[in-house]
Amino acid sequence: MKGVRHYPGFLAMAVACLVILYAPLIVVTIYSFNGSTSITSWGGFSWRWYADVFTGPEAPRFKAAAWNSITIAVIAATSATAIAVAASLAMIRGGRFKGKSATFALINLPLMVPEIVIAVATLIFFSAIGLTTGYLTILIAHITFCIPFAYLPIAARLQGIEDAYEQAARDLYATRWQAFRLILMPLMMPGIISGFLLAFIISLDDFIITNFVKGAGMETLPTAIFGSVKQGIKPNIMAISTMMLAVSILFVTLSYYVNRIGQRTRS
């Protein structure tokens, strides 16, 4: 007799779930190594489309887009993480204060408002204040919507750290700043890294908002890929996709290990 945890067919469903999630990614990865120019027939294993991404006719465009994407993601994730660390100290360690629940709602607002609405509102705002859309407007928008993504793991981590550590430090003659820098920040680090990585990926991932506020001639990787895909899926796009896939998997693995280490130091 099988236990109450077992339901027939649930294993099949779980496997189906993974197949559905991974089949498209695996297929694209395989086809990115297709030696043929046609996307329908298999022409043997080849790196040619990876070479094409870096040296082909579209290479300068992709390089510029990748540069924009990465620099924006780094700056946006760093800023959002710094803002989120300060906010989490106030929200978790600040006790009760007036406007706390309103602040909580504010932090989570970017998660609740649909992306397309944020995109429209941001475009209207920049146009109203007369700021030309471009790198700066993308950056501002990214910092804004990255805040809750950075905040969530940082606040969760901080919540798990007893305030006795800081009190012990203060008791042992540390100033507020020393107690933060020497004790609390190292303990929060796994949360801070997770928050940064999450914000980084979310920024790198964004298409809709970026597409609204990027202005003419400015591209990030997603908008560049979207532009190419409009004319049909080409093999070089599959090569770029596969590389981005690898970066994502690298990041999630990294964040997973950071969390594991974090859990170990806590107990």
Partner 1 sequence: MAGITPTPQGNGSGYRGIVGPLLIPTWAVIGIFLVLPVLLMAVYSFLTKEFRGGVVWDFTLAAYDQFFLNRGLFGDEPPVIEWTYITIFSRSIWQAAVATLICLIVGFPTAWFIATRPPQTRAIWLFLVTIPYWVNLLIRTVSLKFLIRENGPLNESLMSIGLITDPLPLVNTNLAVQLGLFYSYLPFMVLPIYAAVERYNFALSEAAADLYASRWVTLREIVLPVVKPGIIAGCILVFVPSLGAFLAPDLLGGAKTFMIGSLIDEQFRGSQGNWPFGAAAAMILMTLVLIVLTIYARAQARGEAK
Partner 2 sequence: MSTAIDIRSVVKRYGTATALHGVSLSIADNEFFTLLGPSGCGKTTLLRCIAGFEDVTEGEIALFGQNIAGLDPNHRPVNTVFQQYALFPHMTVLDNVAFGLKMKGVPLSDRTARAGKMLEMVHLSAFADRLPAQLSGGQQQRVALARALAPEPKVLLLDEPLSALDLKLRQAMRVELKTLQEQTGITFIFVTHDQEEALTMSDRIAVMSQGRVQQIGTARDIYEAPVNRFVADFIGETNLIEVTVDRIEGETARVTLPGGHAITCPAAATTPGKHHLSIRPERLSLATTGDLTATVERVVYLGTDLQLLTRLPTGEEFHIRLQNSARTEIPAPGTTVALHLEEGAARLLAD
Q: Which of 66, 72, 73, 87 binds partner 1 (CB under 8 A)?
A: 87
Pick one of partner 1, partner 2, none as the site partner of residue 251 (Cβ within 5 to 8 A by kind).
Answer: partner 1
Binding span for partner 2 by CB under 8 A among 79-87, 97-105, 132-140, 178-186: 178-186
Binding string, 108-147, against partner 1, x = CB under 8 A?
-xx-xxxxxxx-xxxxxx-xx-----------xx-xxx-x
- Smallest distance from partner 1 to CB 223, Å: 9
Q: Which is nearer to partner 1, 52 or 183 (CB)?
A: 183
Return the HEC string of the chain: CCCCCCCCCHHHHHHHHHHHHHHHHHHHHHHHCECCCCCCCCCCECCHHHHHHHHCCCHHHHHHHHHHHHHHHHHHHHHHHHHHHHHHHHHHHCCCCCCHHHHHHHHHHHHHCCHHHHHHHHHHHHHHCCCCCCHHHHHHHHHHHHHHHHHHHHHHHHHCCCCHHHHHHHHCCCCHHHHHHHHHHHHHHHHHHHHHHHHHHHHHHCCHHHHHHCCCCCCCHHHHHHHHHCCCCCHHHHHHHHHHHHHHHHHHHHHHHHHHHHHHHHC
36 binds partner 1 per the rule CB under 8 A = no
Count residues binding partner 2 (CB under 8 A): 22
- Smallest distance from partner 1 to CB 259, Å: 11
- Smallest distance from partner 1 to CB 47, Å: 19
Enumerate binding residues for partner 2 (CB under 8 A): 162, 164-165, 167-176, 178, 182-183, 186-187, 264-267
